[in-house]
Amino acid sequence: MRIAMIGTGYVGLVTGTCLADNGNEVVCVDSNQAKIEMLLQGRVPIYEPGLAELVSRNAAAGRLRFTTNLADAVAEAQLIFIAVGTPPAADGSADLSFVWQVVDSLAPHLAADAIVVLKSTVPVGTNAAAYARLKALTGRDCDVASNPEFLKEGAAINDFMYPDRVVVGVRRPAVAETLRTLYSPLLRTGRPFLAMAPESAELTKYVANAMLATKISFINEMANICERVGADINEVRHGIGHDHRIGFAFLFPGVGYGGSCFPKDVRALAQKAIQVGVTPRILDAVEEVNDRQKHVLLEKIRGQFPDGVNGLTFAVWGLSFKPRTDDIREAPSLTLITELLAAGARLQVHDPEAAERVREQFGAQLVYATTPLEAIEGADALAINTEWGEFRSVDLHEMRRRMKTPIIFDGRNLYEPALARDAGFVYHSIGRVTARPE
């Protein structure tokens, strides 16, 4: 199929590239000339494992092109995907200004039989509004489908190629069949293709992310209770996770969720609930617990250093909101860094991919280490925010030798407390009793 993918952000670039890899002719469109130039030169503006290689292969094969010319891309396309950002507005609702700019721009060039597909995360009613807007602009009925994405940063290509399900919101069965044909190479293992009303499809995306965010906030609150009563959250997690009704997914305690999806989607769904007269008590609690959890390491640091941290050197491992990405949007590390700097601490930070993103925000206020061990050299304490694989199997005794003071604040429970204690560390973790050398 001939596809125009409007927006080359995370969702648009991954989706467009993967569709090209399945044999479609894809033109990715963006108004950002610098980004398009970068892609034309074979460079990818985001870090996602395997994406650069996939872009290079499909561009070389001629199936994947990049342009700023929206009119030409739309005029030739059978399917036009809108994959632009929907950032949070001041009240927490989704800002749809980029979506409407695209709808208005593509209308004059839309072929009569083309299908517009909303890939951006948009609130309920956006599909209907886009349909009405295109009808007013073109003077005819235009097919508008909803096709929410369910991609995890760090595993997006695998998620696209091997989806749990494909969800589409349509008004006509013929549109559903066109999208079923598009996605049929991904559904050969029997994964479901779920065609539903556009409103249901729009809400499915929000409800899925809200449910996952709820699980994270729940296990973090339980972890905080465990610490107070002397229980171990990992033991409790295993105790509940083997109940098949509960399972283990997203029940890992930590320093809270971040990224581009969970925070804004929980807020946007809560705002939509308020607009339709429903009080979002659970959604509000999920966000409140998560905001508080982002401060949990700082609370432990204050308890360890009652006289303050002014003049102390802290190593920080992990800056991205999760491993295998360079995304720092709403990352818990930023909260910790900001508060430690304000308290007068000196910070030596390391992340395999996100350091440059953090440098753009904090500049020379931080020392940027190229390795984890370099970051802890001479440090009074280490704070771990992200569970990158390279942090898991470090030599604790070598770490002890390099640090000025053997103290770890582990926001991801990477180590066994007894091993950290035996290596000479005071070891603070999440939902477990602090381990101290005897």
Return the active site residues.
261
DSSP 88: B
Alpha carbon of residue 289 to chain centroid:
18
Tokens 């969720």 correspond to what residue? 257
Which tokens go with 237? Answer: 């997690």
Separation CA 242–CA 262 (nearest Å): 26
The DSSP-derived string for 94-146 is B--HHHHHHHHHHGGG--TT-EEEE-S---TTHHHHHHHHHHHHHSS--EEEE
Separation CA 392–CA 81 (nearest Å): 40
Reference 376, options 391, 360, 361; nearest CA is 391
Reference 195, options 228, 239, 165; nearest CA is 165
Q: HSE, CB side, 13 Å, CA atoms: give it for residue 109.
A: 18
